Amino acid sequence: MLIKLHDLTTLATETPGGEAAKIRGAYVTPEMTVSLVAVDMAGLMDLRTIAIPAGAFGTPDVEAGTWPVDLTTDAISQCDPVGEKPKSALQAVKEVISSPLPEMHNTLRSADSHRGLSLDLNEGPAGRILDLVIDTDNMSIPFIVVETGSWLPDRQVLVPTAKLLSIDWENRTGNIDATQADIKSAPDVYKNDQLTSVGSGTLLTYYGISA
């Protein structure tokens, strides 16, 4: 299933025992695959955010607002905390409600940190990364959502992650192997906040990538 990171963070986990916890985000590898999913444990065990291995998750049920995870509550309690555990319940509540995820978790980078990166094309600006598209079948990130900005107003386009050549994290910039003409003429496969496998294959072919 292909789904935006933004939409994933509106879901709650569903364990075999029926317990629920809020999805906060994800941590990705340099190769742009999801390795860990960050989950808020407030109300389930304690007030902290933990990192659950991405392989434990099944297919999201957007209609039900859940994302099943094949781990017992006991196994979840052994998962690695994201950041330091708060020293007080008040501090924990503030962290859960208002604080962003730490940018790094060990060697992995928060998916949230990709949002807002300014991107350049071969001959000019592309825009900025608005979101990531995750394939929950294999936890890859096949596409980025790019808001094109002033050179192509009111457009959000999907660009294959394979076209993302480099990222300069210090300056929060990146480069895409495409032209402005490529972006302007890209097929319209991103309607009603949904991305189908047929549409994604069409888009990959358009950019010269084997589907």
Residues 52-84: b if buried by 16+ CB within 10 A, e if exposed: bbbebbeebebeeebbbbebeeeebeebeebee
pLDDT value, residue 43: 56
pLDDT (tens digit per residue) in 12-29: 998 877 777 889 999 999
Within 13 A of 117's CA, how many CA atoms are on the CB side?
A: 25
Query: Which residue ranges make up each domain of the chain?
Result: 2-111, 115-206
For 67-94, the pLDDT digits (tens) are 999 988 788 878 888 876 555 555 655 5
Buried b (16+ CB within 10 A) or exposed e, 85-114: ebeeeeebeebbeeeebbeebeebbbbbbb
Does CATH place domain 115-206 in 3.90.50.10? yes
Q: Give me the architecture of the 2-111 domain, per CATH.
A: Roll (2.30)
Q: What pLDDT was estimated at residue 116?
A: 96
Distance between CA atoms of 29 and 199, rounded to whole angstroms? 26
- 146 burial level (CB within 10 Å; 0-12, 13-18, 19+): buried
% residues pLDDT > 70 (the chain) = 86
Q: Quote the pTM value.
A: 0.89
pLDDT of residue 48: 77
Segments of the chain scoring below 70 in pLDDT: 42-47, 84-98, 189-194, 198, 211
Other CB atoms within 10 Å distance of the CB of residue 183: 20
pLDDT at residue 45, as a whole number: 53
How is residue 156 written in tokens? 């959000």
What's the pLDDT at 109? 97
